[in-house]
Chain A
Amino acid sequence: MSLTRRSKYLASAGAVLLAATYLYACAPRQKVSGIGNLGDAASRTYVAPGSYDEFYFFTSGGFSGQVGVYGLPSGRLLKVLPVFSQNAENGYGYNSETKALLNTSYGNIPWDDTHHPSLSMTNGEHDGRWLFINANNTPRFARIDLAKFETTETLEIPNTAGNHGAPFATENTEYLVAATRFSIPLPQKDESFGDFATKFKGTISLVKANEFGKMDVAFQILMPGFDYDLGRPGKGPSHGWVFFTSYNTEQAYTKLEVNASKNDKDYMAAVNWKQGEKCVAEGKAKTWPTKYYHNVLDDATHTATSEVKTSVKMLLPEDCPGMVYFLPTPKSPHGVDVDPTGEYIVGGGKLATVIPVHSFSKIQKAIADKNFEKDVYGIPVVNYAASMFCEVANPGLGPLHNEFDEKGNVYTSVFISSEIVKWSLPGCKVLDRVPTYYSIGHLSVMGGDTRKPYGKYVVAMNKITKDRFLPTGPELTQSAQLFDISGDKMKLLLDFPTIGEPHYAQGILASKIKDNQVKFFKLADNNHPYVAKTEQATGLTRSGKTVHIKMTAIRSHFAPDNIDGVQVGDTVLFHVTNLEQDWDVPHGFAAIGSFSDAELLIMPGQTRTLTWIPNSPGVFPFYCTDFCSALHQEMQGYVRVAAVGSTVALSATTSKRSLKALEQATGSAR
């Protein structure tokens, strides 16, 4: 074969191979995550040891039922704050002091699903007093005192199922709002599913919140049986109004993913709560029998108690004209957000191809002109064109939520295309977009829901993390991502893992909170029924099968430490008071085999109770669980348990100081 021919063969074969290689070179490859050059991101998020973050960042714990407290820009986890789930780490929801905070008309509920933290406001700005959050599953609100970082009050929301559109605070925390995700028969009754459209109703609730211990449902509004999703109160000119999105205006009751996605537009409910207040004052509300719990943690006794309420004021829209209007909004809208000026109400049609922006002044004009397209269940539906300010084009796929900066920009989270889209108001033009990793839900600009956003950062709260962190089996960490928004272009600075699902979050300047902190509880003010303010005040008492032990903890001993006279099957209640009066000296308390309780973590000046039921004779230890001092390991004691019917009297040993007092208290001489 000639060289020429051989080369031709080779060239032909080579060409085919080359083509194949080329095709494979085009095959998609795993993308490099991140945005390439992060530049000075490390220094922007670095908070030197001993220095403080600029912002507190409160994330909902999602299905953990708690609240995560982070510092920003570092993303450091500062505290997991127990709210709606029992927390074995400090005994919250287990011990008899805090258990009542989880009381509901359904019983004592050990878990819930927190979604939307809402900081208290004064004049439309964060005031740093409280954080509120909703329980989604068994509808409740919680108040968290930001001087103590403690849940201090919970309120059940009656006539509600799926407390999702909550608890957003009005400008002066006059009210927290709530809306029912699930419409249900009201009053509850075993109605047929087929009667969904006629018998199932929704409610919107306005909850008084501006005074600790007095949280209550001011009134509810009975709404058509749609699914109500999210709500935001107005600001400035729109103060006095609150806007709720709804979906399933189709009123489907099965296969909702398809059947509730048919209508081109669903409704945003515009609710004039000042009008509602007026109607209630005029006696137009019905007294609606129901049952719900209100639980308050008393400052002095360190103990929560419950009260049961038996009715609410219910307003029917037809009895209170001018209170509720519907704004058609494309397509199963999820988020609704009011801009800092209060003029623009931005929807987030999760299946829509535009971001709809309603104008508050146009809504007012349409209402004045009666520019309605129809009535739905007696509620006027404003003409879409009459309330619409603009539709933002090209917003990505699946816009969900909006937050605002101080420069007139809006940041929209876009779920399906997994990005944040920045656009201008009133320009309604997309300015920038940045990918998130992965599938962003809510997002949070620092102060982004107030009249005066701080700006600076936006945080993406992502639904999945996949390959972003070291893998940890099938269940991966959840995460948030911090972006710098000080310039024209958004810039990724940091990924940080979060507890539960960081559903929504709010950031507040640390300076509004950090100087108000309670460092310890004053022992002198402790009014717990079983407090022992000195070792001399400790003691043991038996009443039938119940043994109360008033005990103290101070570095590095318990008083009393050895306890005798307990019998199998007794309910032993260790009421432990931490006598320390200094910062950061909690004591822990745990007893072997305490199956009905977790440990106690007792702050200085506080009293907590551990319930312990011995089920066999023997000598059983207890000890301090929080490493409190050099002799922490010596901080321990025993309980001697005798068989039922033993004649050994209750007695105890303790430090010499309190021995005498103990003898008096227990009547035993040693």
Chain B
Amino acid sequence: MLSKRSRVLIAVAALLLAALFVFPIWSVYLNAPQYPEGIGMHIWINTITGVKEHDLQNINGLNHYIGMKRIEPDAIPELRLMPFIVVALIAGGVAAAALGRTLLARIWVGAFLVISLVGLADFWKWEYDYGHDLDMENAIIKIPGMSYQPPLIGTKQLLNFSATSLPGIGGLIAIFSLGMAVVVLVFDKGAAARVAAATVPAARARVANT
């Protein structure tokens, strides 16, 4: 069984994921000499928007020069799926906390981790696809060998634009939530107590007293 504190913290970690409905998961910022104010887009669990109101429209306008496909949130099925996945994750975490079963909590954290990695891989795949699947027939600027895949995380120069990709506030909170859940499980009182019991008997008493 998880300690009471751990159960509370797991529940908090799960509920923190609700932030994904309020803040973007990931953001891509584009900087170029002609765009001193910057231009960029936020990726949310259910849509993609511009950092500024018309940024996505303007990014699509710029991308037409290089023959990149239009970024159409409605054409990305993952964005329809993701809210359900997040709700399921929240529910799973809360359930694990309510039941207090260590195994259940571990399964939940494992699922959370796998979903996060699959999500990142999927994001990378979309970036690869947008960056490489160029309509060379209708592209205006054609540079042999040039592709326009933005980085998953970090900064990369794409022609006159420097593209920076970073987790958004929602993404950071999710990372924090995942990190917190892992830490909670690693340092869970029950588990720690068992370790302590095997090594320093005095520690058990101290743990029990806390």
Contact = CB atoms under 8 A, between A and B. Distances in A.
A417 interface: yes
Contact of A12 (B154, B167, B179): B179
A438 B176 CA distance: 40
Interface string A417-449: 111000000000000000111110000000000
Interface stretch (B29-37, B81-89, B94-102, B125-133): B29-37
A33 interface: yes
A258 B164 contact: no
Given A27-B166, A28-B29, A351 B141 contact: yes
A439 B34 contact: yes
B110 interface: no
Interface stretch (A18-26, A451-459, A472-480, A645-653): A18-26
B153 to A, nearest CB: 8
Interface stretch (A1-9, A106-114, A224-232, A598-606): A1-9
B155 interface: yes
B134 interface: no
Interface in A110-149: none
A417 B32 CA distance: 8
B36 A418 contact: no
Given A23-B167, A417-B33, A438-B36, A16 B160 contact: no
A464 interface: yes
Nearest to B9: A9
B164 A2 contact: no
Given A26-B155, A351-B141, A419 B179 contact: no
A31 B187 CA distance: 44
Interface in B119-175: 138-143, 153-155, 159-160, 162, 164, 166-167, 172, 175
A30 interface: yes
Nearest to A353: B143
Contacts of B141: 351, 397, 416
B136 to A, nearest CB: 10
B194 interface: no
Contact of A20 (B153, B155, B172, B183): B172
Interface string B168-197: 000010011001100100010000100000
A15 B178 CA distance: 13
A369 interface: no
Contacts of A12: 179-180, 183
Interface string B186-210: 0100001000000000000011001
Contacts of A435: 33
A211 interface: no
A416 B159 contact: yes
A439 B33 CA distance: 8
B69 to A, nearest CB: 15
A418 B37 CA distance: 15
Contact of B34 (A16, A257, A466): A466
Contacts of A556: none
A439 B140 CA distance: 18
A1 B5 CA distance: 11
Nearest to B153: A23
Contact of A2 (B33, B140, B162, B210): B210
Contact of B36 (A20, A23, A30, A397): A30
A467 interface: yes
A35 interface: no
A2 B179 CA distance: 21
A27 B29 contact: yes
B160 A20 contact: no
Contacts of B187: 5, 8-9
Contact of A258 (B37, B140, B159): B140
Contacts of A24: 166
A15 B183 CA distance: 11
A610 B129 CA distance: 67
Contacts of A397: 141, 159-160
Contacts of B172: 20, 23
B33 A13 contact: no
Contacts of A353: 143
B36 A26 contact: no
A531 B6 CA distance: 102
A261 interface: yes
B180 A466 contact: no
Contact of A9 (B33, B143, B183): B183
A437 to B, nearest CB: 7
A257 B180 contact: no
Given A9-B187, A13-B180, A419 B33 contact: yes
A418 B33 contact: yes
Given A2-B206, A9-B183, A16-B179, A30 B160 contact: no
A435 to B, nearest CB: 6
User: Which of A2, A28, A419 has the largest number of chain B CB atoms within 10 A?
Assistant: A28
A439 B206 CA distance: 69
A438 B29 contact: no
A464 B35 CA distance: 10
A351 B207 CA distance: 71
The 10 closest A-B pairs by CB, nearest first: A418-B33, A12-B183, A438-B34, A16-B179, A20-B172, A1-B210, A417-B160, A258-B138, A28-B29, A28-B164
7 contacts: A8-B187, A9-B187, A23-B172, A27-B29, A30-B38, A351-B141, A437-B33
Interface of A: 1-2, 5, 8-9, 12-13, 15-17, 19-20, 23-24, 26-28, 30-31, 33, 257-258, 261, 351, 353, 397, 416-419, 435-439, 464, 466-467
Given A23-B153, A418-B160, A419-B33, 5 more contacts: A16-B176, A28-B29, A258-B140, A261-B142, A438-B36
